[in-house]
Amino acid sequence: VGGPAMQTSQKDFNNAVSQLKLLKEDPGNEVKLKLYALYKQATEGPCNVPKPGMLDFINKTKWDAWNALGSLSKEAARQNYVDLVSKLSASSESPSPEAPAADRKQPESDSLVVTSGDGITTIRLNRPTKKNALTTQMYHDIIAALQAASKDESPITVLTGSGDYFCSGNDLTNFTSLPAGGPEEMARSSAVLLRDFVNCFIDFPKPLVAVVNGPAVGISVTILGLFDVVYATDRATFHTPFSHLGQSPEGCSSYTFPKIMGSSKAAEMLLFGKKLTAQEACAQGLVTEVFPDSTFQKEVWARLKAYSKLPPNAMRISKQIIRDREKEKLHAVNAEESNVLRERWLSDECMNAIASFLSRKSKL
């Protein structure tokens, strides 16, 4: 680091600080945290202030990030800061690689990719380095993608993931960017977002298939109870660590899971966070069929392509008959679960669990 670091002048650093304010896109919380830490290190040197208390989430996370830079020199921190800002400026100026389809609003971030072809609209979670954890933006993008898919030409809609995970559930850093209204406002807006997100799955009018390409955690497991068909690789696992996180069930799972697998198996998952293998999830009715990982993609897509040639109106109407009987109940359950979670998110149990996940991160 010594050589190039020495070449970064104070002027380059000041320019980078100004350039950052001109970025067209929000770089996201993790990058902002990194920038904060590098800025502090570059201007004040190694972290020299007392660690904030456990429940002072934001300041503790910032402190952890700064402290994690250890004895990095001011010059090296300046260089890293300048490099990072220049990378961000370059990527925010590069044009989008794909022209938006005329009838579909493209997702706001590249963490979600929506494509259509062979009679199938595929919504792909595309944040593999974070195990496809769902950011707030991704919830909004999935809602928009489902609304568009409900009106598009494809008879079948699929949700799947990129990389080795299907999805690691809610991105736990979502809870660290507190709005002006503080934790209460954060909990309120998250509950509204959760309710709207789950409502889209309840109301989705066509066959909705989950292609579970790897382990699934939290909300990515619970919503499976609202899909019509769930295909899983034999590498997939399914767990909902709600109690570990001081949280409670969502995605209508407090209603769908007992119905699908019986109350005691559902309780083992929802209360104790028991992790199921793909075979177990299939035996309990949460998964429709399990495929060997080596042939998973080939077999599943071949089958879905064949199904997509079935008469689309017949499939919609059949789904409607099945779903309509349950809709009112599902909406009521969703509203209740979202309200309960709103309070849970403000509990010490939940705050401590999230703080503990975040401090695990900062040590990595």
Q: Which is nearer to ligand LG6FSS7D, 78 or 239 (CB)?
A: 239
253 binds ligand LG6FSS7D (CB under 6 A): no
**CB proximity list for 238: less than 8 A, separation 6 or greater:** 215, 216, 221, 224, 269, 275, 276, 278, 281, 286, 287
Q: What angle do CA 133, 135, 136 make, to 5 degrees?
A: 150
Pairwise CA distance, residues 251 & 264, whole Å: 19
Q: Which is nearer to ligand LG6FSS7D, 231 or 238 (CB)?
A: 238
Do 209 and 227 meet the contact criterion of CB atoms below 8 Å apart?
Answer: yes
Pairwise CA distance, residues 229 & 227, whole Å: 6
Only one of the segments 68-76, 99-107, 179-187, 215-223 lies at the binding site for ligand LG6FSS7D (rule: CB under 6 A); that segment is: 215-223
Q: Which one among 69, 72, 145, 194 touches ligand LG6FSS7D, defined by CB under 6 A?
A: 194
Which tokens is 277 given?
């293998």
Q: Which is nearer to ligand LG6FSS7D, 148 or 216 (CB)?
A: 216
Tell me how far, at minimum, the Cβ of 190 lies from ligand LG6FSS7D, in Å: 4
Q: Where are the alpha helices (DSSP H) in the chain?
A: 2-7, 10-21, 29-44, 57-67, 74-93, 136-151, 182-203, 219-222, 253-261, 263-270, 278-283, 296-307, 312-344, 348-363
Q: Which is nearer to ligand LG6FSS7D, 74 or 130 (CB)?
A: 130
76 binds ligand LG6FSS7D (CB under 6 A): no
Only one of the segments 67-75, 225-233, 240-248, 260-268 lies at the binding site for ligand LG6FSS7D (rule: CB under 6 A); that segment is: 240-248
Q: Which is nearer to ligand LG6FSS7D, 120 or 142 (CB)?
A: 142
DSSP at 167: B
Q: Which is nearer to ligand LG6FSS7D, 233 or 308 (CB)?
A: 233
Bridge-based pairing of strands 237-239 and 276-277 is: antiparallel
C-beta atoms surrounding 159 within 10 Å = 26
193 binds ligand LG6FSS7D (CB under 6 A): yes
300 binds ligand LG6FSS7D (CB under 6 A): no
Q: Which one among 27, 241, 246, 258 touches ligand LG6FSS7D, defined by CB under 6 A?
A: 241
C-beta atoms surrounding 356 within 10 Å = 14
Instruction: Let me know if 151 is exposed, middle or buried by CB neighbors in 10 A (0-12, 13-18, 19+).
Output: exposed
Only one of the segments 97-105, 150-158, 211-219, 271-279 lies at the binding site for ligand LG6FSS7D (rule: CB under 6 A); that segment is: 211-219
C-beta atoms surrounding 25 within 10 Å = 11
Pairwise CA distance, residues 46 & 205, whole Å: 56
Stretch 147-186: interaction string toward ligand LG6FSS7D, x if CB under 6 A: ---------------------xxxxxx-------------
Q: Which is nearer to ligand LG6FSS7D, 178 or 302 (CB)?
A: 178
Number of residues lying near ligand LG6FSS7D (CB under 6 A): 22
Furthest CA-CA distance within the chain: 70
Tell me how far, at minimum, the Cβ of 192 lies from ligand LG6FSS7D, in Å: 9
Q: Which residues bind ligand LG6FSS7D (CB under 6 A)?
A: 130-131, 133, 139, 168-173, 190, 193-194, 217-219, 241, 245, 247, 250, 361, 364
